[in-house]
Structure 1
Amino acid sequence: MSLELTTDRLRIREWELDDAEAALEIYGAAEVAHWLTPEWQPVNDAGAMRSVLHAWIEAGPNLIPPAGRWAIVRKDDGALVGGLSLKLLPPYEEDFELTWALRPDVWGQGYATEASRAAIGWAFEQGIDEVFAVARPNNRRAVGVARRLGMEWVGETEKYYDMRLQVFRLRPV
């Protein structure tokens, strides 16, 4: 689904093939890839990242709204600092999961929370009634973002991705 959102510091927009080099700094970074879902395949060069972006761009129109994958760009300098997605969680594809990934050099600056708030607000405007985030138990950064977003911890499960995960949920107020 096509999306363009802005916050005080960020612009959330569709991915472009020209984003490959900058996206590689996110999805190719070992300290980011370590926390991604088990189905994620490591990306080691710009060509491979370009192929991933191409697949994401092509799949976009076929996703069930409000699902999608977007780039997070800093407004002041146009730098691509992260990625954001709303997707259906396996195995039943009933629950929408919010995911975020940022370049390691911008961690701790509040970008994940800021971008996620905008995406969640937009998703609720599209009519979904809850958004989930899942995190490995020792992923303190992801758990911290979920808590800053006001998500409630609903427990641990192995239902998603066949691994033990912390589950957080947010419903509209």
Structure 2
Amino acid sequence: MNSRSESAGVRLATDRLRLRPGRVGDAVVHRELWAERDPRVPPHRRIDADGRPTLRDLEDSLRSGPQASGLGLLAVELRDDGRTVGYCGLVEGGPGSAALDGQPPGPEIAFELLSRAQGQGYATEAARAVVEWSRREGLERLHATVWSWNSPSLRVLEKLGFEETARTSPDGASGDMVVVTLEL
């Protein structure tokens, strides 16, 4: 694996994947991700009755560029054909960002792949690249928040050594949110 930081952001590579800063053209993939989301995902994270977010909304979001600091969310691209199949990276905040054991949980690792790219180990490979980048950058801890019914994502995080540290029930409709952490 190798990485390089540039003015355009961090880029990571694995045997099968490239992780790169998002481009406006990736909005099509983001829109498909929104459309594919499980109906148990809270409504504000799915396409609403008015069709929002629209492709244009997502393009505008990507146009605003990567986070000012840190890794941000990177597009996950297949090395063999260049297709973008999702995203993976680090974000600040979120439902699991409260201090754990008096310690800040660190950035949140987040990943989402198109359904046609799932079940092939890409999420684990991409998330592993992000964890290794985090270690090299001197981060001390990462966390993730995952709905308890999302077994595939929980398995990815378990493979990487994340351990459950808390559970919350942010709303009755979506079930429990599992908070997992990884000490780096």
Which TM bucket (shorter chain)? 0.7 to 0.9
Q: Which residue number in structure 1 is paired with residue 154 of structure 2?
A: 143
Cα offsets for 1:66-100 (capped at 9, x unmatched): x4111000000000011113112346584311010
- Please give the alpha-carbon distance, in whole angstroms, between the structure 1 residues aligned to 2:29 and 2:149: 27
Contact 1:96 1:131 in 2 (8 A): yes
Q: What TM-score, normalized to structure 2?
A: 0.77
The aligned amino acid for 1:18 is G
Residue number in structure 2 paired with 1:87: 91
Which whole-Å CA distance do the structure 1 matches of 2:144 and 2:166 have between them? Answer: 11
| Bigger helix fraction | 1
- Correspondence for 2:125: 114
Query: 1:50 matched to which residue of 2?
Result: 59
TM-score, normalised by the number of residues in structure 1? 0.81
1:69 to 68, 73, 94: 73
Q: Where does the alignment leave 5 or more consecutive residues of structure 1 unmatched?
A: none
Give, in angstroms, the shift of residue 148 of structure 1: 1.4
Q: Is the 8 A contact 2:27 2:62 kept in 1?
A: yes
Q: How many residues align?
A: 162
Alignment-derived partner of residue 14 in structure 1: 21
Task: Select which of 155, 180, 183 maps to 1:168.
Answer: 180
Q: Distance in 2 between matches of 1:38 and 1:127?
A: 36
Identity across matched positions, percent: 27
CA distance in 2 between counterparts of 1:22 and 1:136 reads: 22
Q: CA RMSD in A?
A: 2.4
Q: Which has more strand, going by share of residues?
A: 2
Give the direction of change, closer, same or farther, for the CA distance of 1:123–1:38 in structure 2 (3 Å limit).
Answer: farther
Partner AA of 2:115 in structure 1 = P
**Unpaired runs of at least 5, structure 2:** 1-7
